[in-house]
Structure 1
Amino acid sequence: MPTTPVQTIVLDSDGGVDDIAALWYSLSCPGIRVAAVTSTGGNVDTSTAASNLARITHLAGKPGIPIAIGEAGSFGPHPVLKRANAIHGDDGIGNTGRSAPDWEPSPMTATDLLAQTISRFADELTLVTLGPLTNVARLIDEHPDVISQVGQLVVMGGTIELQGNALPIGEANIAHDPAAAAMVATADWARPPLLVPLDATLRATFGPDEFASLEQRATAAAQDLADPISFYRRMGGTFSPPGESPCHDLTTVVVAHEPELVDAPVLPLGVDTGEGLAWGTTVVDRRLPFFEAAGADTRQAIPEQMAPWRVALDINVEATRARYRRLFEGWDESGNR
């Protein structure tokens, strides 16, 4: 029986509750190998984010994974946003007071570690971003030649048809650094990146079965995540039905590993940097399928600030929830729960 190749990923993360859930999944899933981790500011500062992530790599028995601390500050101007401590806690992990063991961050900058890892793995590598896109914009700025080597970019961010969370129509990761997101949107990627917006993550929530599975604390991941997620769901579920809560970054890693779980048409995508009401929002040109169906004579110009992206507009909710339960209950020898 043929074996499925192991997927090599790099995580760029702002170290909140759903971030550590995503890292736990990446370190636990038999089909994923984490090559490196970089921290970015968002839920907490870059140093705290890195410590939160390092704690998970140690608990998962993989302390050798290099973790680089991202540079503080945004790539460009951004809207004033409320701090995320009501959702993630002052420490980013639900005010649990847990600290990382003694660990040494990579001596490299986040952008240099990203560039080195991309050069090493090239087309085999999936770069998954779970926070503001500051590090990736700086990577494009400092190492423009490596961008086209990335096998696949997967971004948690944005909203297409739903309301925003940080702004009326703006999602937090994009709104934290719109200039960075705009640069990433139109960079010279080898293939269209995959955006996992709120449209997907607010559908594939934790429901009663997932919370019950988590509370059994049957795996090291469940034992570690039960308290932070209990804190997170009180405010993180603001836009979800009663009894449900999203876990945005966990959803994104699941989708990065199994992209067939989403319906993701290729559409022109850009980011508003205009400093008005739509500042920090993702803009998708939904006209393209209509133009293609009607013929060339109807086609209008696609704005130059846009580039082709795969946009996850729908998701297989039950299959995705089954992946969450694998994290909480464990995989069998074949990689299945």
Structure 2
Amino acid sequence: MRTSVRLIVDSDGGIDDAAALWWLCRNPDVDLVAVTAVGGSVPAAQAAINLRFILEAAGAGHVPVFSGRDQTAPAPRTQRPVMIHGYDGLADLERKPPIHPPEAGKSVLDAFDELCRAGTSVLALGPMTNLGAGITSGALRPDGATLTFMGGSARAGGNARPTAEANIAHDPSAADVVLRTSWATPPRMVGLDVTHRATLTEREFGDLAASRTPAAKFLAGRLAYYGRHAGMLCAPGETPCHDLLAAMVCTDPTFVDAEIVDLQVDIGGGAAWGTTVADLRPVARRAHVSASAGDGNALGEGAAVQVGLDADVDRFRATFRSFVTLPIAK
């Protein structure tokens, strides 16, 4: 018997977010109950418009979009990724405005308060500004929910900064709040360690360009724009689609090999500000099984997080090809 995933997606409305949302909307095992917009690749207001446009194009115009927040807490200097997502977040291609605006009269905190109940999955595809605010205010009660997030890096370095991944670097304080919170299970981190491995190649882009499915028509030009620069830190000829992999992991964790490790977000304001520090030492790993390492080494003081360390690359690529050529009917 198939079990449907009841899902809230928090997104900053970029191109890989679009691929993730299209895939989720075409997945019969996903009950997408709401999407919340957060500032990141574009400001939150633009992200909300993008998300409505994406959902309506994907045949999911019934899913509400709630406008969320832009980061206001101190954070390291980062730049809008215009060369990757365009000025509007979706490659600046001509498009019609969405038919319906984002939800009026309700905030992102209202959405969390009403929708995030026991058994809900939360998928964070942008900075954690909304989630941090929801937890701090009490609107988001995560003890009965699960969290999968695209962000961070255990040993792959950074992209927005030398050691910091963009989503975490954009609002480290919010990420620290979210990851130190008691979720129903340790949060799943889909970071650069796996998104820079499970990539799109010439074959996937060829299938995308040749396909005439609605998903392919929507994504082809946008992913082509994205692919010009998004793969700078990947193997030659490969392009990550970070948020699409995170969406797949949210519905099926076996897309990656993960290990529960101690993870901290650097909120100290120095050169490593925004870095996710994963304690991969053998002594720290043993400490998750034994109450005490017993050998005098200092253990981490972070949160237990399921960190993706390797990915099923062939399966990711095959799933992408099937998605853009033979979309699953809801």
Question: What band does the TM-score fall into relative to the shorter chain?
Answer: over 0.9
Aligned counterpart, 2:131: 136
Task: Give the secondary-structure state (helix, strand or coil) at the position aligned to 1:127.
Answer: strand
Q: Is the 8 A contact 2:154 2:277 kept in 1?
A: yes
The counterpart of 1:45, out of the listed 43, 49, 54, is 43
**Paired AA for residue 134 in structure 2:** L
Q: Report the Cα distance in structure 1 between the residues aligned to 2:299 and 2:114, rounded to whole angstroms.
A: 34
Distance 1:111 1:326, change over 3 A: farther
Deviation at 1:293, TM superposition (A): 8.8
Deviation at 1:313, TM superposition (A): 0.5
Aligned counterpart, 1:9: 7
Q: Report the Cα distance in structure 2 between the residues aligned to 1:198 and 1:64, rounded to whole angstroms.
A: 32
Aligned counterpart, 1:200: 194
**Within the alignment, does 1:172 sit opposite 2:169 as a pair?**
no
1:147-174 CA distance string (max 9 Å, x none): 2121x10010001111210000100000
Q: Is the 8 A contact 1:162 1:198 kept in 2?
A: yes
Distance 1:188 1:224, change over 3 A: same
Aligned counterpart, 1:272: 266
Structure-to-structure mapping, 1:103-122, within 5 angstroms:
103-106=100-103, 107-119=105-117, 122=118
For the aligned residue pairs, the C-alpha RMSD in angstroms reads: 1.8
TM-score normalised to the size of structure 2?
Answer: 0.94
Task: Give the secondary-structure state (helix, strand or coil) at the position aligned to 2:163.
Answer: coil
**Within the alignment, does 1:187 sit opposite 2:184 as a pair?**
no
Q: Report the Cα distance in structure 2 between the residues aligned to 1:279 and 1:296, rounded to whole angstroms.
A: 28
Aligned counterpart, 1:155: 149
Q: Report the Cα distance in structure 1 between the residues aligned to 2:54 and 2:209, rounded to whole angstroms.
A: 19
Aligned counterpart, 1:58: 56
Task: Give the secondary-structure state (helix, strand or coil) at the position aligned to 2:141.
Answer: helix
Q: Report the Cα distance in structure 1 between the residues aligned to 2:200 and 2:293, rounded to whole angstroms.
A: 44
Aligned counterpart, 2:313: 317
Q: Report the Cα distance in structure 1 between the residues aligned to 2:148 and 2:161, rounded to whole angstroms.
A: 22
Distance 1:332 1:147, change over 3 A: closer
The counterpart of 1:212, out of the listed 203, 206, 212, is 206
Count of aligned residue pairs for this structure pair:
326
Q: Report the Cα distance in structure 1 between the residues aligned to 2:170 and 2:195, rounded to whole angstroms.
A: 18
Identity of aligned residues (%): 38
**Paired AA for residue 95 in structure 2:** R
For structure 1, list consecutive stretches of 5 or more residues without a partner in the other structure. none
Aligned counterpart, 1:28: 26
Deviation at 1:331, TM superposition (A): 4.1
Q: Is the 8 A contact 1:291 1:299 kept in 2?
A: no
Q: Is the 8 A contact 1:43 1:92 kept in 2?
A: yes
The counterpart of 1:81, out of the listed 78, 95, 100, is 78
Distance 1:179 1:332, change over 3 A: closer
Deviation at 1:189, TM superposition (A): 1.2
Q: Is the 8 A contact 1:156 1:197 kept in 2?
A: yes
TM-score normalised to the size of structure 1?
Answer: 0.92
Structure 1 segments, 4+ long, off by >3 Å, are 290-296, 299-304
Distance 1:94 1:331, change over 3 A: closer
